[in-house]
Amino acid sequence: MGLLIWLDGKLVDESQAMVSVFDHGLLYGDGVFEGIRVYGGKIFEFQAHLKRLYESASVIRLVIPMTMEELAAATQETVKANNIADGYIRLIITRGKGNLGLNPFTCSRAGVIIIASTIQLYPPELYERGMKVISAVTVRNHPLAIPPQVKSLNYLNNIIAKMEALDNNVPEAIMYNHEGYVAEATGDNVFIVRDGILYSPPVQAGSLEGVTRSVVIRLAKKLEIPFVEKNLTRFDLYVADEFFLTGTAAEVIAVVEIDGRTIGSGKPGPITGRLREAFFDYANGNSTC
């Protein structure tokens, strides 16, 4: 027996969890999703993730065929059925089965898939040493094309930039928007520290409104670390004292080099360390924010 997957209203073994080749999620990347952590048996920031999922769906005019409460209950049930205490949930809403044409209105019912499993994005050494990144040549999606705040099933923009990183033997790439300002990494939000002040680009610069980012901003306020949201350039990244990325899967990870320029001492910085520690205290229920 493999994992039990929630598929359109019931739990089925992963060997039976199939979607139609006519699902527009597959044919066109037409759908939305969420990645959510489970820490100590508790679904982390569940409300924030559900809100983002329903907002993303509404922007692309996708009707989720369950209320938020029903979807939350189904997610809890899937986590329980797979005995996940510390893990990762993937909620996927596809446009559903339709014709071989773009028209989403041929799809009568959206598909709902819930996977509760585990994830290890990077090896533990990378969290201790910090990672190297590059600046991607690939520009982040223009907000008037598909708004980067929509967590859609179409990640090609990010995947192309991810390949640039991997071609350069680094795990991540920083993406810039059409105006040259920092947007985000391929699956994570960006923070830097300079002269004791924490900075992150506004979501409007072309990033997903990260749930981890919001938690880190709240924790910074609690720790009395000054925080400023402002557009950042490549220069700002190059001269940063500290640099880190946040994301559900990546959690909080230091960046120690970008485009061959060393950040600070070349090791994860002290403010990054404090925020990382505060993040895990909060995630494990040992503090509030």
Residue (of 42, 26, 179) closest to 111 by Cα position: 26
164 in Cβ contact with 43 (< 8 Å): no
CB of 191 to ligand PMP, least distance (A): 12
Name the CA dihedral angle for 189, 38, 171, 93, rounded to a multiple of 10 degrees.
-70
Q: Which is nearer to ligand PMP, 20 or 135 (CB)?
A: 135
Q: Which is nearer to ligand PMP, 32 or 74 (CB)?
A: 32
Which residues are CB-contacts of 15 (< 8 A; sequence separation ≥ 6)? 2
Locate 282 and state its tokens.
């909060």
Query: Is 201 an interacting residue with respect to ligand PMP (CB under 6 A)?
Result: no
Residue (of 116, 95, 107) closest to 34 by Cα position: 116
Q: Given the residues 97, 151, 162, 230, select the one marked as catalytic.
A: 151
CB of 209 to ligand PMP, least distance (A): 7
Task: Kindly write out the interface string for residues 152-171 of this chain, putting x where it contacts ligand PMP by CB under 6 A and - elsewhere.
Answer: ------x-------------
Query: Is 187 an interacting residue with respect to ligand PMP (CB under 6 A)?
Result: yes
Instruction: Decide if 222 is catalytic.
Output: no
Q: Which is nearer to ligand PMP, 78 or 212 (CB)?
A: 212
Query: Is 213 an interacting residue with respect to ligand PMP (CB under 6 A)?
Result: yes
Query: Is 247 an interacting residue with respect to ligand PMP (CB under 6 A)?
Result: yes
Count CB-CB contacts under 10 A for residue 83: 10
Number of residues in contact with ligand PMP, rule: CB under 6 A?
Answer: 16
How would you class 163 by CB atoms within 10 Å of its CB: exposed for 0-12, middle for 13-18, buried for 19 or more? middle
Q: Which is nearer to ligand PMP, 17 or 249 (CB)?
A: 249
What is the rounded distance in angstroms from the CA atom of residue 287 to the CA atom of residue 289? Answer: 7
Query: Is 56 an interacting residue with respect to ligand PMP (CB under 6 A)?
Result: no
Pairing between strand 251-258 and 131-135? parallel
Query: Is 172 an interacting residue with respect to ligand PMP (CB under 6 A)?
Result: no
- Name the site residues for ligand PMP (rule: CB under 6 A): 35, 158, 184, 187-189, 207-208, 210-213, 246-249
Hey, which residues are catalytic here? 151
